[in-house]
Structure 1
Amino acid sequence: MTTLTRNPARPAPEGRPRNGRSSEARPRLGGTVWLVWRQHRAAFWTLIALTALCVLVMVWLRGQMMDYLGSYDSTPHKSDSLPADFEKYADRMFSVGSYLGYIPVLAGVLLGAPLIAGDLESGTAKLVTSQSVSRLRWLTTKLAMPAALIALSTTVLAAVFTWWWSPVQGRSAALAWTSFFDVTGVTPVAYALLTFTVGVAVGMLLRRTLVSMVVTLGIVVAIGVVWDRFRLSLGHIMSVSTHKGIGPGAALPTLPAQAEQQGQGTYFLTRSGSRLDWTTCLDRSGDDKAHTACLESKHVIGYSMDYLPVSQMHTMQWLGAGIMLAVTAAVVAFVILWGRKRLL
């Protein structure tokens, strides 16, 4: 076994532990674990440092927000809503949430794509696997260590952001739960692992670091577009209706608290229970009486709206995460099967 596959530090003579300490008290990385850490320690330490920095920033910003809310909620005219000048605190939350939304991109492009492509391009993969280390062991370690750090980092960041958002959740329509769907709960963990493994697979196939990073960026952006269009479809859309007529004086349906309106907006509800879209009788909308008469001729008796309740948020997140983790597992299986036979 060469120094590529074990800790190169010289073992202390028997009965004489170095530095006067027992080796059992100082566990060390060995084998392929040590090698992978040594190869990518700069990226790993950067990830750890950025995670710690983001946590500190969010804790500090939450402290400022709670101080403000404490002074506002202690007033005699306290309400469940937030004051108008809370906007700057909401903007900070949106800004941090948007930055956290780039985690999947960074995981795929900066960690996933160069992981194996760099070793293939430099010849390190051939050197390592020519020793006593099997390809399966090397591939497993290369995937497991970065994936574990990514999962840990995103879990911590999502938990801290959720802790920051929780005191104001539901108190402002501007802080809708759909705006933070991808940076809270289990979603960011599964999303980052998916893009990371996709980057690894692209790097293994293309075998060139820079090209792999560019291609991975395009794929990750495409995944983001598909996810943005698909994620709200994971929920069960519900409807609320009125049956008290139409016209200028008729009231529109009231959505439940924190509900997110879906579809085309307000529909016209007919006596039979069917719905007509907002373009119905649009050519007569300039005349209120003519417009109302047109709708009554189509047996319209009220309005209807579609919405997603906040109670479905966690179910939707777990369902979406399950889909992404299933795809991640398939990509990992492909990387291992391909790598065992056609890596070099």
Structure 2
Amino acid sequence: MIRLTWRQFRVPALAGLAGLVLLGAYLVYLGVAIRRDEQSYLSRCRTGGDCAGALAQFLGGYQNTLLYLAGLLALVPAVLGMFWGAPLVARELETGTHRLVWNQSVTRTRWFAVKLLVVGSAAVTVTGLASLLLTWAASPVDRLAGDRFGTIVFGARNVVPLGYAAFGFVLGTVTGALVRRTLPAMALTAVAFTLVQLLVPNVLRPHLMPPVTVTRPMTAEAINEARALGSLTGAPVVKGLSVPDAWVSEVSELRTRDGRPLSGEAFDRCFRDPPRTGATGTFGDAAACLGRLDLHVRLSFQPNRRYWAFQWRELAIYLALTGLLAGVGRWWIRRRVT
């Protein structure tokens, strides 16, 4: 059964291997270039040069490239689920070739389990090696940038991509077993995997561990450190506040000294038509006007020292979902497929 599965899977496996070799060669080249430029940046700092400028130049030269690569790696589990997982069972059920195997002393459970283990192991290995190489190549930039919890970056480093690959592949396989048609199974796999990948980082991940919550006064200087002020709905909010070596997961609305939300009228007055004081900074007079109102926000954040705890917990969640899906698929093959 293992040999038969390998013979059916060898063309996709060779295609995946070729893609991995090409990506790996580029990541090795990129990793060497990053380390060479890191040494150049460090030497400029040691000789009393513009260390901040050198750091900005070093990070700016690679952050976008690494972000694109992280986005590419995020697509790998979805692609493997669509093209390796979805057709794995659906094509056999669609053409009826599963009956030939089941009539030769191969049980349904063994047939399904071998397919999952052989092809699933290949999917996890390909994704794991790509993640390992990207993690190695990007490590100097990640260490200096300090943005370890970024949505795309977090999902493309270390052990979490292994869970994504296992889940995506088994999701595709079980979807194919349920639908029994290859093309619809591929489309449903892509949609379902995308939805999960949107929900987990935005809804579940911030609550994997209780956050640290602090109150921060919103002086004019603090407001000018934010990336944005206000929202499309006109809510009194500041966006993009940061905490050193931490991931800010939630920021409350602007609140007054007694803890009540700032009224929309007071916010609009400062935001749209503030008194002209000639204040400088990102938001200028608006920040000066709001700074005089004695405001504060409540910040919830996760320190970077919790990074590995988040990695292992999210991996465990995806592996649990994978096991649950595999159990559903086994039950369906045994009870519902004729």
TM-score when scaled to structure 2? Answer: 0.79
Farther-moved stretch of structure 1 (152-161 vs 55-64): 152-161
- 1:260 shift after superposition: 2.5
Distance 1:86 1:222, change over 3 A: closer
How many residues align structurally?
304
Higher helix share: 2
Letter in 2 for 1:162: T
Farther-moved stretch of structure 1 (87-96 vs 281-290): 281-290
Residue 65 (1) aligns with residue 38 (2): no
- 1:283 shift after superposition: 4.2
Alignment-derived partner of residue 199 in structure 1: 172
Letter in 2 for 1:47: G
- 1:51 shift after superposition: 2.0
Q: 5 Å matches for 1:63-142?
A: 63-75=32-44, 76=47, 77=49, 79=51, 82-84=55-57, 86-142=59-115
Residue 233 (1) aligns with residue 204 (2): no
Alignment-derived partner of residue 117 in structure 2: 144
Q: 1:46 aligns with which of 9, 12, 15?
A: 15
Distance 1:165 1:235, change over 3 A: farther
- 1:280 shift after superposition: 8.0
In 2, are the aligned partners of 1:260 and 1:308 still within 8 Å (CA)? yes
Alignment-derived partner of residue 250 in structure 2: 263
Residue 333 (1) aligns with residue 327 (2): yes
Give the match's secondary structure for 2:301: strand
> Which digits, 9 at most, give the CA deviation of each residue in 1:80-115, with x for residues without a partner?
772336423222211111110101211211111100
- 1:169 shift after superposition: 2.0
Give the match's secondary structure for 1:270: coil
Q: 5 Å matches for 1:172-183?
A: 172=145, 177-183=150-156
Cα distance in 2 for residues equivalent to 1:73 and 1:278: 49
In 2, are the aligned partners of 1:242 and 1:304 still within 8 Å (CA)? yes
Alignment-derived partner of residue 17 in structure 1: none
Cα distance in 2 for residues equivalent to 1:247 and 1:181: 32
Cα distance in 1 for residues equivalent to 2:9 and 2:58: 45
Distance 1:220 1:251, change over 3 A: closer
Alignment-derived partner of residue 134 in structure 2: 161
Residue 313 (1) aligns with residue 304 (2): no
- 1:225 shift after superposition: 2.4
Letter in 2 for 1:281: A
Structure 1 unaligned blocks of 5 or more:
1-31
Give the match's secondary structure for 1:257: coil
Cα distance in 1 for residues equivalent to 2:223 and 2:41: 33
Distance 1:53 1:219, change over 3 A: same
**Aligned alpha-carbon RMSD (Å):** 2.9
In 1, are the aligned partners of 2:178 and 2:332 still within 8 Å (CA)? no
Cα distance in 2 for residues equivalent to 1:137 and 1:267: 59
**Quick one: percent identity of the two aligned structures?**
25
In 2, are the aligned partners of 1:267 and 1:278 still within 8 Å (CA)? no
TM-score when scaled to structure 1? Answer: 0.78
Alignment-derived partner of residue 282 in structure 1: 267
> Which digits, 9 at most, give the CA deviation of each residue in 1:43-72, with x for residues without a partner?
112222222222221111111111112122
Alignment-derived partner of residue 34 in structure 1: 3
Farther-moved stretch of structure 1 (43-52 vs 194-203): 43-52
- 1:292 shift after superposition: 6.2
Letter in 2 for 1:316: F
Letter in 1 for 2:325: V
Cα distance in 1 for residues equivalent to 2:61 and 2:291: 43
- 1:251 shift after superposition: 8.5
Give the match's secondary structure for 1:307: strand
- 1:140 shift after superposition: 0.9
Q: 2:317 aligns with which of 297, 305, 323?
A: 323
> Which digits, 9 at most, give the CA deviation of each residue in 1:246-290, with x for residues without a partner?
65467999954332333246744636xx46468583144224898
In 2, are the aligned partners of 1:258 and 1:310 still within 8 Å (CA)? yes
> Which digits, 9 at most, give the CA deviation of each residue in 1:213-256, with x for residues without a partner?
1222222222222224223332432234356xx65467999954
Cα distance in 2 for residues equivalent to 1:72 and 1:278: 48
Q: Which has the larger radius of gyration?
A: 1
- 1:74 shift after superposition: 1.1
